[in-house]
Amino acid sequence: MSPPLVSVLLPVRNGMPYLPIAIESLLAQTFGDFEIIVVDDGSTDGTAGYLRGLSDPRLRVLSPGGLGLAAALNLGLAEARGRYIARQDADDWSMLERFATQVGYLDAHPDVALVATCADYVDGHGQPIESAWTRTVREQQDPAQTPEQLLAMMPLTCCITHGSVMMRAEALRAAGGYDQAMVPAEDYDLWLRLLPAHKLLKLPDRLYAYRVHDDQSSTVRRSDQMARVIEAKLRYVRRQVPGLPRPVRLVLPCNDRGAELFRRVGPAEGYDPGIRATAASRVADVVVVTDFSKVPYYAMALAAASECQQFGNLFVRNQAQPA
């Protein structure tokens, strides 16, 4: 029997009552050449019993115990036989034509390594929601769709819904898979490690439903997530500008919660956040604008003062770059 074209990675820990909806949405896909690798990562609710009751031959269940999210994903990746790797979260669902659309795009565009989709946002009961966050996503993140737009936007903020992606297995494996130390921002870290060598793309179609509820990881571990996001940004900048000194002289002109996180996380990544804002024009290597509304202003001001390279809300001044 030939391997399936698509392998779906679905890690789960205590996925009830949402897991059946997630799996049913996959089994009903209009494109059928796939396998679902469910990694039951130490569930203690009814997840294991539900999975035992399923008999679809496309479903494979691994039960390694409590590995952690990234390790569970990497285990699924090691077992995956497909040329394409799709993701699905246990509390979300996919529209019926999602796989057909993404496979068609990847088949037709061999230069693209990953294709995501826009998403609908629903509450714990599956009802559409609208909030300040969803409006920000619609206005600022959803328009980032082309490889060029995603390359520019991604260093500023994660603008891809993890569960919506389908990617080439060879690109994911070449990038080293997921980093357990970066959970719960393991997806953002991966996107930045794929860039800029690989093209990422997001379809405008809303082919994925993202459930917003109080028990999801991004809600429970919000502070940890933001710290890992900052780590991922700082590592990305050092990869793109390998000539940065150590430590990097970092200036934070805004005094907000984001700046406090940079002060806490920066030293471990080789960034010294002790430079005062008034000294930025003379000695700073990297300027970090944590108030996103002020990023365009600083982009114009720094460009007028001297040449600099922008990575989202981080600006690398010309004297910090290699000759």
Q: Residue 7, Cβ neighbours under 10 Å: how many?
A: 22
Q: Is 146 helix (H, G, I), strand (E, B) or coil?
A: coil
Q: What is the pLDDT of residue 322?
A: 45
Residue 301: pLDDT band with limits 50, 70, 90: confident
Q: What is the pLDDT of residue 278?
A: 58
On the question of pLDDT at 46 being above 50, the answer is yes
Q: What is the pLDDT of residue 214?
A: 77
Mean pLDDT estimate for the chain = 93
pLDDT above 90 coverage of the chain, percent: 86
Q: What is the pLDDT of residue 216?
A: 63
Cβ atoms of residues 308 and 288 within 8 Å:
no
- Mean pLDDT over 257-266 rounds to 95
Q: What is the pLDDT of residue 290?
A: 96
Q: What is the pLDDT of residue 282?
A: 61
Residue 10: pLDDT band with limits 50, 70, 90: very high
Residue 59: pLDDT band with limits 50, 70, 90: very high
With CA atoms as reference, report the closest residue to 273 among 249, 307, 245. Answer: 249
What's the angle, vertex CA 191, arms to CA 185 and CA 194, rounded to 5?
140
- Domain edges within the chain: 6-220, 242-320
Q: What is the pLDDT of residues 166-217, one digit of tens each?
A: 999 999 999 999 999 999 999 999 999 999 999 999 999 999 999 998 776 5
With CA atoms as reference, report the closest residue to 233 among 202, 276, 262. Answer: 262
Q: What is the pLDDT of residues 130-180, one digit of tens each?
A: 999 999 999 999 999 999 999 999 999 999 999 999 999 999 999 999 999
With CA atoms as reference, report the closest residue to 213 among 129, 88, 119. Answer: 129
Contact partners, residue 8, CB within 8 Å, separation at least 6: 26, 34, 35, 36, 37, 85, 86, 87, 88
**Cis omega (within 30 of 0) on the bond before 273?**
no
Cβ atoms of residues 70 and 11 within 8 Å:
no
Q: What is the pLDDT of residues 105-129, one digit of tens each?
A: 999 999 999 999 999 999 999 999 9
Cβ atoms of residues 150 and 201 within 8 Å:
yes
- Mean pLDDT over 292-304 rounds to 89
**Full-model pTM:** 0.94
Which two tokens mark 19? 């897991």
b/e 177-195 (16+ beta carbons within 10 angstroms → b):
bbbeebbbbbbbbbbbbbb
C-alpha pair distances (Å), 84 with each of 99, 128, 165: 10, 30, 10
Q: Residue 294, Cβ neighbours under 10 Å: how many?
A: 14
Residue 323: pLDDT band with limits 50, 70, 90: very low
Cβ atoms of residues 179 and 74 within 8 Å:
no
Cβ atoms of residues 41 and 12 within 8 Å:
yes
Q: What is the pLDDT of residues 81-99, one digit of tens each?
A: 999 999 999 999 999 999 9
Q: Is 316 helix (H, G, I), strand (E, B) or coil?
A: strand
Which two tokens mark 5? 């074209």
On the question of pLDDT at 283 being above 50, the answer is yes
CATH code, 6-220: 3.90.550.10
